[in-house]
Amino acid sequence: MIYFLLAVTIFLLYALFENFFMLNIRREKLGSGIRIVHLSDLHKRTFGKENSRLCRKVRAEKPDIIIFSGDLVSRSVKGLSNAEATLRELCKIAPVYMIYGNHEQSIYIEMRDKLEEMFARNDQIMLKNSSTTVNIRGRELKIFGLLENYGVYKKDGGYRDLDIIDVGELNKLLGKCPEGEVLLIAHNPFFGEAYAEWGAKYTFSGHVHGGIVRLFGVAMLSPERSFFPKNAKGVYDFGGKKLLVSAGLGKLRLFCPPEIVVYEI
């Protein structure tokens, strides 16, 4: 009985430490010349006052650009001061390119205007089925941001009637993929094959929180309350095109620490 209680205590202490103190940096070398910091799914989590610890770690990586692949806030957020302070500090480090996740799309109605006002007065580049071009040391990157339909939000936290994203839908929302080095920010990683077929060389996603619980490296759950979600964390290759999935920063998790991802491309 003593050993059982000891094991439970150790487990609970680890879970507490993982969720409220850990902040890992995962580095992926896919090329050379451009350094990108990828953040996702912060929700209500804080790492130091106004996320000072998060911003300090990002600054230390000296990124050329920062990509935030959605869910800066949770839909039930009551105030935006912490999110705004975090966003303002990130924009001082490097240009920030971001999209809406499902939580921004379904944020409680009383916060919708305040959210839009927050983004309007800050310097991030918000991409809603739109694109921009950036030149970094002679390389031209065309950055697209996907705003997909997340269907009908249910009070239990799930979604129904999720659109299936295929190449036809991407062409309709984004236009045909141009020539050159194209980066796509798409919150939902489930459609990695379609993003690659559309033509994005690199797609940045989040949403799945790494699978929420990972056992022996296997993702166990998704936010849609389904088991064993695919494309939950890591680098996936589809015919030479890369799907880059962050496990994100916020929400409760187990054996799947919050992470900052740093890519060399």
Residue 159: the pLDDT is 59
Q: Which domains does the chain have, with CATH numbers?
A: 2-264 (3.60.21.10)
Task: Give me the residues paired with residue 182 across strands.
Answer: 142
Checking 166-175 for CB contacts under 8 A at 24+ apart, the result is 166/191, 166/194, 167/194, 167/197, 167/198, 169/194, 170/146, 170/194, 170/195, 170/198, 171/198, 173/129, 173/146, 173/147, 173/148, 174/129, 174/131, 174/144, 174/146, 174/198
pTM: 0.95
pLDDT attached to residue 164 = 82
**Looking at this protein, which amino acid is placed at residue 1?**
M
pLDDT tens sequence for the chain (265 residues): 888 888 888 989 999 999 999 999 999 999 999 999 999 999 999 999 999 999 999 999 999 999 999 999 999 999 999 999 999 999 999 999 999 999 999 899 889 999 999 999 999 999 999 999 999 999 999 999 999 877 555 555 555 556 789 999 999 999 999 999 999 999 999 999 999 999 999 999 999 999 999 999 999 999 888 899 999 999 999 999 999 999 999 999 999 999 999 999 9
Q: What local confidence, expressed as pLDDT, does residue 234 receive?
A: 98
Closest by Cα among 203, 259, 210, 262 to 231 = 210
Give the pLDDT confidence score for residue 149 in this predicted structure: 79
E-strand spans in the chain? 24-29, 35-39, 65-68, 96-98, 125-126, 130-136, 139-145, 152-153, 159-160, 181-185, 202-205, 214-215, 218-219, 234-238, 241-245, 259-264
pLDDT of the residue at 78? 92
